[in-house]
Amino acid sequence: GQNIDQPTEMTATEGAIVQINCTYQTSGFNGLFWYQQHAGEAPTFLSYNVLDGLEEKGRFSSFLSRSKGYSYLLLKELQMKDSASYLCAVRDSNYQLIWGAGTKLIIKP
Amino acid sequence: DVKVTQSSRYLVKRTGEKVFLECVQDMDHENMFWYRQDPGLGLRLIYFSYDVKMKEKGDIPEGYSVSREKKERFSLILESASTNQTSMYLCASSHGREADTQYFGPGTRLTVL
């Protein structure tokens, strides 16, 4: 079967750095997405990786290792507004998105 | 900016009622999707559509149907609502056959009593 694993919840301090991991086993691979979802709101696109390595976008970076079936989202200089759920999704061989359950990130002052 | 709108943010219905959830996107996207989101589970795909009048089953189509009569509009229908269909329903759209980045609507929280 297809499976995406990410931690259920993480806590970090304002101004710090946090890394949210995502491991996957899917039928094929055509890219990995990270989305942010604030409580009661729609998911919004953060990043996309299809090749191995690190993609940096401001305070957020996303890393992919296809051989290990592994990705992480790195958030730097955490702000209170970063409190949200972070969803990992993998596009499989049929170009369908397989979604993780999401990681709820709690930022403390 | 891509805009995806859904007809209701909150909806309360009774068991056995027919329920219509509407989704409209304004970016001329070919692809549209309906998901449900439940605590502790990832988004689960109900139905999707790659073009007008086309529809394909996702992972959990049972109890649902869809309609896409116009490119910008994708409707989800619960023929006879049941309590296990209480959930958050999210509509999304994307451009291109190979499912580019999906843009989501704000969601409809449906409660079936």
* Residue B105 touches chain A, beta carbons under 8 Å: yes
Are B99 and A101 a contacting pair at CB < 8 A? no
What pLDDT is recorded for position B66?
97
What pLDDT is recorded for position B2?
65
The 10s digit of each residue's pLDDT in B63-111 is 999 999 999 999 999 999 999 999 999 999 998 755 578 999 999 999 9
What pLDDT is recorded for position A19?
98
For testing contact with chain A, the best of B47, B49, B57, B104 (most A CBs within 10 A): B104
Whether A31 contacts A95, CB under 8 Å = no
Whether B77 contacts B86, CB under 8 Å = no
Q: What percent of chain B has pLDDT over 70?
A: 96
Whether A86 contacts A103, CB under 8 Å = yes
What pLDDT is recorded for position B100?
77
The 10s digit of each residue's pLDDT in A38-65 is 998 899 999 999 999 999 999 999 999 9
For testing contact with chain B, the best of A96, A103, A104 (most B CBs within 10 A): A96
Are A99 and B90 a contacting pair at CB < 8 A? no
The 10s digit of each residue's pLDDT in B28-54 is 999 999 999 998 888 999 999 999 989
With CA atoms as reference, report the closest residue to A72 among A2, A1, A5. A5
Indicate whether A6 pLDDT > 80.
yes
With CA atoms as reference, report the closest residue to B1 among B35, B32, B25. B25
CA A91 vs CA A94, B45, B63: distances in Å: 8, 13, 26
* Residue B103 touches chain A, beta carbons under 8 Å: yes
Whether A18 contacts A78, CB under 8 Å = yes
Nearest to B107 among A33, A42, A98 (CB): A42
Separation in Å, CA of B84 to nearest CA in chain A: 19
| Residues 6+ away with beta carbon under 8 Å from B39 | none
Query: What gap in Å lies between CA A101 and CA A91, rounded to an integer?
Result: 15
Q: List residues of A whose CB lies inside 8 A of any B CB.
A: 4, 8, 30, 33, 40-45, 48, 87, 89, 91, 95-102
The 10s digit of each residue's pLDDT in A82-102 is 999 999 999 988 888 899 999
B chain contacts of residue A87, beta-carbon cutoff 8 Å: 42-43
The residue of chain B nearest to residue A48, with distances taken between CA atoms, is: B101
A chain contacts of residue B4, beta-carbon cutoff 8 Å: 42
